[in-house]
């Protein structure tokens, strides 16, 4: 997929659009900015670039800046945006009114894309058409949010390109940019394929070239249920503010995004009630007696159920950060500089070696929060619940419950077989071992 402007080398190995430069601070973090005519008396002020070249906002902003112009009036630059027909729309000065400048720039560029869409079957025009259609509007809010991320990326990189000019090679190259992130690559490919499919009967393309790209292999590693030793280590060493979310996930079988958003049930409530983010399904999870004891012991007057140690409610982002930080206790934090993370890891391991060892064992076993959902399913199946009952309780498809039940069924069959062998052993032993003495037990 083509980039707007002539690419040039940037920070690291990333090719940047024309006029975009980057630098790293002392901590090694990369920053980017857009600036024309450096080293001349016509130099522009540095215009900020959001995030990094891996983010869709970066390329969208580059496309917006590309259509900027600046006229020197009375010794001061006056900025404007050039529309599709060549008309100039004035913009606030980026240094005097940064927020107003970016807002006006986004509006001007959106108008430019709509004007251009009237003459060309571009990706930008197709995205506008798709997001106004029921095919997009009927998506679940969470799915729509994910679609928006990739649609913005496609618009930023090739919004002005004709859809029918896209080749399989272009699409494969775009997908390959995410080869180190398989889940992202799969979703990007799915959104691009869906978009082109939507455009075919509307005259944007004759065939879907994305269909010929390589399918990104799914992660075959299943989520593991937590063994008993993991719960013992976690509740012994993990920070107390993470305990209740684990119990809630175990007793309700919900995902972290739904667990953290749970409301505290009334003391007389029979069940935890919620609407899941992924499916929009209504969950009514009866409260287990031991779970009720935990809720009573941790009762507060707050609306939200799960709180930090300081009494403030967890946010999803805050919880996930704390969870990751807890399980990486005693390990080098990849988000920090090498010297800092090594020193911090060494200090943590020295301060609390038992905690560091516990979290290392849990981490190296590949146990994650989502595995608690499998624990919940397995508990219900082992208790004799039907697949339909489990499906309704944890809001999971019966097909997935059946997939989770394979290990449970295998254990059930094995236990049943051993019971039958025990019951008939007095008659069977002689046919297997004859009159052989067992000296190991005799002594």
Task: Kindly report, residue by residue over 139-157, the tens digit of the pLDDT.
Answer: 888 888 889 989 998 988 8
Backbone angles phi, psi at 344, to 5 degrees: -65, -45
Q: Which residues of 161-194 are buried (b: 16+ CB within 10 A; e: fewer)?
A: bebeebeeebbbebbebbeeeeebbbbbbebbbb
pLDDT for residue 435: 82
Helix H or strand E segment including 277: none
Place of tokens 């945006």: 81
pLDDT tens digits, one per residue of 321-337: 899 889 888 775 555 55
Are 161 and 169 a contacting pair, CB within 8 Å?
A: no
pLDDT for residue 315: 92
**Strand arrangement, sheet containing 30-34:** 20-24, 30-34, 47-48
Measure the CA–CA gap between 81 and 102, rounded to whole angstroms: 11
**Strand arrangement, sheet containing 88-90:** 68-73, 76-82, 88-90
Are 404 and 374 a contacting pair, CB within 8 Å?
A: yes
Measure the CA–CA gap between 283 and 257, rounded to whole angstroms: 14
Place of tokens 């272009």: 170
Please report, in tens digits, the pLDDT of each residue of the chain (443 residues total): 544 444 454 555 567 889 999 888 888 888 999 999 988 888 999 999 988 888 888 999 999 999 999 998 888 899 999 877 677 888 999 999 999 999 999 988 887 877 666 556 788 889 988 998 999 998 888 888 889 989 998 988 887 778 888 999 889 988 888 877 788 888 899 999 999 999 999 888 989 999 989 887 654 456 789 999 999 999 999 999 999 999 999 999 999 999 999 999 999 999 999 988 877 888 999 999 999 999 999 988 899 999 999 999 999 889 998 998 898 887 755 555 566 666 777 787 788 899 999 999 998 898 999 999 999 998 898 888 888 898 888 888 887 787 777 767 677 777 788 888 888 888 888 888 888 877 777 75
pLDDT for residue 4: 46
Residue 20 burial (CB < 10 Å; 0-12/13-18/19+)? buried
DSSP β-ladder status, 68-73 and 47-48: unpaired
Backbone angles phi, psi at 98, to 5 degrees: -55, -45
Measure the CA–CA gap between 334 and 312, rounded to whole angstroms: 28
Q: What is the largest CA-CA distance in the chain?
A: 113
DSSP output for 63-104 = HHHHTEEEEEETTEEEEEEE-TTS-EEE---TTT-HHHHHHH
Q: Which residues of 29-65 are buried (b: 16+ CB within 10 A; e: fewer)?
A: eeebebebeeeeeeebeebebeebbebbebbbbbbbb
Measure the CA–CA gap between 228 and 416, rounded to whole angstroms: 23
3-class secondary-structure state, position 271: strand
Measure the CA–CA gap between 101 and 248, rounded to whole angstroms: 46
Closest Cα to residue 171, out of 120, 135, 123, 231?
Answer: 123
The β-bridge partners of 90 are: 80
Rg (CA), the chain: 29
Structural domains of the chain ordered from first start: 8-117 (no CATH), 123-212 (1.10.150.130), 228-401 (1.10.443)
The β-bridge partners of 275 are: 282
3-class secondary-structure state, position 272: strand
SS3 string, 295-313, reads: HHHCCCCCCECCECCCCCE
Place of tokens 């007057």: 301
Closest Cα to residue 355, out of 228, 239, 257?
Answer: 239
């Amino acid at each position: 997929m083509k980039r707007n402007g002539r690419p040039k080398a940037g920070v690291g190995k990333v090719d940047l659009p024309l006029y975009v430069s980057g630098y790293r601070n002392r901590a090694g973090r990369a920053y980017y900015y857009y600036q024309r005519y450096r080293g001349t008396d016509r130099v522009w002020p540095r215009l900020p670039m959001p995030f990094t070249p891996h983010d869709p906002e970066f390329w969208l902003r580059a496309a917006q800046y590309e259509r900027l112009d600046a006229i020197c009036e009375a010794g001061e630059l006056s900025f404007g945006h050039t529309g599709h027909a060549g008309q100039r729309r004035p913009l606030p000065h980026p240094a005097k009114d940064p927020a107003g400048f970016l807002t006006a720039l986004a509006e001007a560029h959106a108008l430019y894309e709509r004007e251009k869409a009237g003459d060309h079957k571009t990706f930008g025009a197709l995205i506008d058409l798709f997001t106004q259609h029921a095919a997009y509007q009927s998506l679940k809010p969470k799915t729509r949010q994910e679609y928006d991320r990739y649609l913005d990326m496609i618009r930023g990189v090739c919004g002005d390109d004709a859809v029918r000019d896209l080749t399989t090679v272009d699409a494969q190259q775009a997908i390959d940019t995410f080869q180190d992130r398989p889940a992202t690559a799969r979703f990007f490919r799915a959104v691009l394929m869906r978009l082109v499919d939507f455009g075919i009967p509307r005259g944007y393309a004759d065939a879907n070239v994305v269909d010929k790209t390589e399918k990104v292999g799914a992660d075959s590693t299943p989520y593991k249920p937590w063994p008993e030793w993991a719960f013992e280590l976690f509740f012994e060493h993990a920070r107390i503010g993470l305990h209740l979310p684990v119990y809630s996930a175990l007793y309700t079988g919900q995902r972290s995004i739904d667990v953290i958003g749970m409301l505290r049930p009334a003391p007389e409530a029979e069940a935890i009630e919620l609407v899941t983010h992924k499916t929009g399904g209504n969950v009514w999870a009866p409260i287990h007696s031991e779970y009720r004891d935990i809720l009573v012991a941790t009762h507060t007057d707050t609306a939200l159920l799960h709180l930090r140690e300081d009494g403030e409610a967890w946010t999803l982002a805050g919880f996930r950060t704390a969870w990751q930080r807890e399980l990486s206790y005693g390990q080098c934090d990849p988000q920090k500089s090498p010297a800092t993370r090594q020193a911090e890891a060494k200090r943590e391991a020295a301060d609390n070696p038992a905690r560091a060892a516990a979290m290392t064992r849990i981490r190296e076993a590949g146990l994650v929060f989502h595995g608690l959902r499998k624990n919940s399913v397995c508990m219900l199946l082992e208790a004799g619940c039907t697949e339909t009952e489990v499906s309704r309780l944890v809001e999971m498809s019966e097909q997935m419950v059946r997939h989770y039940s394979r290990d449970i069924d295998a254990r059930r069959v094995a236990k049943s077989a051993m019971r039958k062998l025990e019951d008939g052993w007095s008659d069977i032993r002689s046919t297997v071992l004859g009159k052989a003495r067992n000296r190991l037990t005799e002594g």
